[in-house]
Amino acid sequence: MTPQAQEARPGGAASSVAAACTVPQLRKACESKVGSRVLMTAGGLEITPKIVKRWIMRLEKAAGLAPTGRLHILRHSYVSHLAGANVPLIAIAALARHSDLRVTQRYMHLAPGALREGVDMLVRSRARGGASVMPNTKSEPECG
């Protein structure tokens, strides 16, 4: 296996380096980059789309899926995790840059608590005489 292939495997040196970077470190890397790529392996080799495709194919195989190497799977996973965390539909649509909410609604089956939260918000609102009950508002204490 070539040094580039060893560093470019999922969970390899490049993955751990990228995961450990902070925003200031990434900004510094962008300012001082040499060549056309921002992401580099620990050995200084460019992380190319071909390398990322190879990573995805290996992960797909390990998960028992047909190895396609399609990068879109990362976008799908991101949106699925947002929905599973009960992030509001409109926020998911904005983060995913969906132009139509119907696209985002496809993921909402992954948000098991969303319906219950909606009913709970209505109950809290009625208890406050119709006042807003959006999560994280500090204007009024929670009813218990």
Q: Based on the fold, state whether residues 81 and 45 are members of the same structural domain.
A: no
CB-based contacts of 135, cutoff 8 Å, min separation 6: none
Share of the chain above pLDDT 90, in %: 10
Q: Based on the fold, state whether residues 47 and 99 are members of the same structural domain.
A: no
Q: Based on the fold, state whether residues 12 and 56 are members of the same structural domain.
A: yes
Q: Based on the fold, state whether residues 62 and 88 are members of the same structural domain.
A: no
83: pLDDT confidence band, cut at 50, 70 and 90? confident
CA distance 98 to 86: 17
Q: Based on the fold, state whether residues 78 and 90 are members of the same structural domain.
A: yes
Q: Based on the fold, state whether residues 49 and 79 are members of the same structural domain.
A: no
Q: Based on the fold, state whether residues 47 and 12 are members of the same structural domain.
A: yes
pLDDT confidence of residue 20: 55
Q: Based on the fold, state whether residues 37 and 93 are members of the same structural domain.
A: no
The count of structural domains within the chain is 3
Q: Based on the fold, state whether residues 121 and 79 are members of the same structural domain.
A: no
| pLDDT over 80 (residue 42) | no
Q: Based on the fold, state whether residues 79 and 28 are members of the same structural domain.
A: no
| pLDDT over 60 (residue 59) | yes
Q: Based on the fold, state whether residues 49 and 93 are members of the same structural domain.
A: no
Q: Alpha carbon of 68 to those of 9, 10, 65, 72, 106: distances in Å? A: 16, 16, 9, 10, 22
Q: Could you list the residue range(s) of the whole structural domain that residue 123 is in?
A: 113-144
8: pLDDT confidence band, cut at 50, 70 and 90? very low
pLDDT confidence of residue 133: 59
- What is the pTM for the complete model shown? 0.48
| pLDDT over 60 (residue 11) | no
When comparing pLDDT for 59 and 32, which is higher? Answer: 59
CB-based contacts of 17, cutoff 8 Å, min separation 6: 41, 42
| pLDDT over 80 (residue 95) | yes
Q: Based on the fold, state whether residues 19 and 46 are members of the same structural domain.
A: yes
141: pLDDT confidence band, cut at 50, 70 and 90? very low
